DNA sequence: CCATTCCGTAACCACATCAGTTTCACGATA
DNA sequence: TATCGTGAAACTGATGTGGTTACGGAATGG
């Protein structure tokens, strides 16, 4: 299936925020960098704020800033904040009690899915927003 | 996002096929195990057949059988057959040429996404259909 | 104090995907 | 040759996503 692009946009926005530094940015400015709508950005940043990664302030001269150092924001944290459901899902069809496989499969799949999800997240943990900012600067 | 359940159903069907052994099964029988429609099963098995994991034969006393030993069917192969797009996707918004981050982000994200996808698939490679059949039998 | 700026949310739309269903043509075989 | 099963197309309803408009509330600069 076509994966959602929300994670990619969220990382993009965070890198932009970190790139700008202290001053932060409004959802309008961030949306311009992504070439999307300000509300889309606010929705994503809302989830990131709940996870304690950014903080937003309303009012004149409001906007968003990172809530912690960019080196302490790993892509794993971003992914969990944006896609808490994970990448794999079990089917919800009722089990056929007459079939041994049907009775067992969900338990077995659950274990496998957890492992794959963990491997996926461990890999994401190796990259932080600060890393991506550094790479952006290096290529300038 | 709510991930698709096609991978889970595909594995379920393959385990059921392997569990039954040589004789194979019809889409009707497999659908009964999953508690879904036969056409849904045929669609999935169509993708698996293209990947060379199963073979389907029409006609009277037709049905599906595994095209190779269940020990040689890893969940990685199944995943790639069912979800060739992978788990992460870049956003397709046009890049804002006035923004350094916007110009760089997709290249950087592409590298990160590839790595995470690889870690995910490597983990899936460690489990085969035969493993799941063995675990099913062990718990009986 | 008040107008401006910006966030937070809700509501709505268009679009895509998914699971399920019906239908039918084709091929194989008993 | 009559039957059975696959393969494929078309349609439905449900759901998620990205985009958009709109509005209330909070903060602030004049």
Digit-coded pLDDT (tens) for A37-96: 999 999 999 999 999 999 999 999 999 999 999 999 999 999 999 999 999 999 999 999
Distance A69 CA to C18 C1' (A): 40
Q: What is the pTM of this model?
A: 0.95
Q: Would an 8 Å CB–CB cutoff place B40 in contact with chain A? A: no
Q: Any idea what the Cα angle at residue A121 is, between residues A120 and A122, rounded to 5°?
A: 95
Question: Is a pLDDT exceeding 90 seen at residue A109?
Answer: yes
Distance B46 CA to C22 C1' (A): 19
> Measuring CA to CA, which residue among A119, A20, A26 is closest to residue A70?
A20
Query: CA B122, CA B125: separation in Å to the nearest integer?
Result: 5
pLDDT-derived band at A2, boundaries 50, 70, 90: low
* Residues forming beta bridges with residue B74, ordered by sequence position: B128
Distance from CA of A6 to the nearest CA of B (A): 8
Residues of A in contact with B80 (CB under 8 A): none
- The reported pLDDT for the residue numbered B40 is 98
* Average pLDDT of every residue of chain B: 96
Residues of B in contact with A125 (CB under 8 A): none
User: Residues for chain B: how many in total?
Assistant: 140
Contact A94 B2 (CB under 8 A): no
Question: Is a pLDDT exceeding 80 seen at residue B140?
Answer: no
Q: Would an 8 Å CB–CB cutoff place A100 in contact with chain B? A: yes
Question: Is a pLDDT exceeding 70 seen at residue B2?
Answer: no
Is residue A87 within 8 A of residue B24, CB to CB? The reply is: no
Tell me whether strands A63-66 and B54-57 are parallel, antiparallel or unpaired: unpaired
pLDDT-derived band at A139, boundaries 50, 70, 90: confident
At B71-84, the pLDDT tens digits run: 999 999 999 999 99
Question: Is a pLDDT exceeding 90 seen at residue A14?
Answer: yes
Cβ-based contacts under 8 A for chains A and B: 170
* Residue A30 backbone zone (phi > 0: left; psi -120 to 50: alpha; other: beta): alpha
């Amino acid at each position: 299936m076509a994966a959602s692009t929300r994670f990619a946009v969220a990382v993009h926005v965070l890198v932009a925020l970190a790139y700008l530094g202290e001053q932060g940015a409004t959802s309008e400015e961030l949306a311009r960098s992504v070439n999307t709508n300000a509300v889309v950005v606010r929705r994503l940043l809302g989830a990131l704020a709940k996870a304690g990664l950014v903080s937003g302030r309303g009012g004149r001269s409001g906007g968003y800033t990172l809530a912690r150092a960019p080196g302490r924001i790993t892509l794993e944290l971003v992914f969990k904040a944006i896609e808490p459901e994970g990448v794999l899902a079990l089917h919800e069809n009722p089990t056929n009690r007459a079939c041994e496989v049907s009775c067992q499969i969900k338990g077995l799949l659950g274990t496998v899915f957890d492992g794959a999800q963990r491997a996926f997240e461990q890999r994401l943990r190796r990259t932080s927003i600060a890393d991506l900012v550094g790479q952006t600067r290096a290529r300038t």
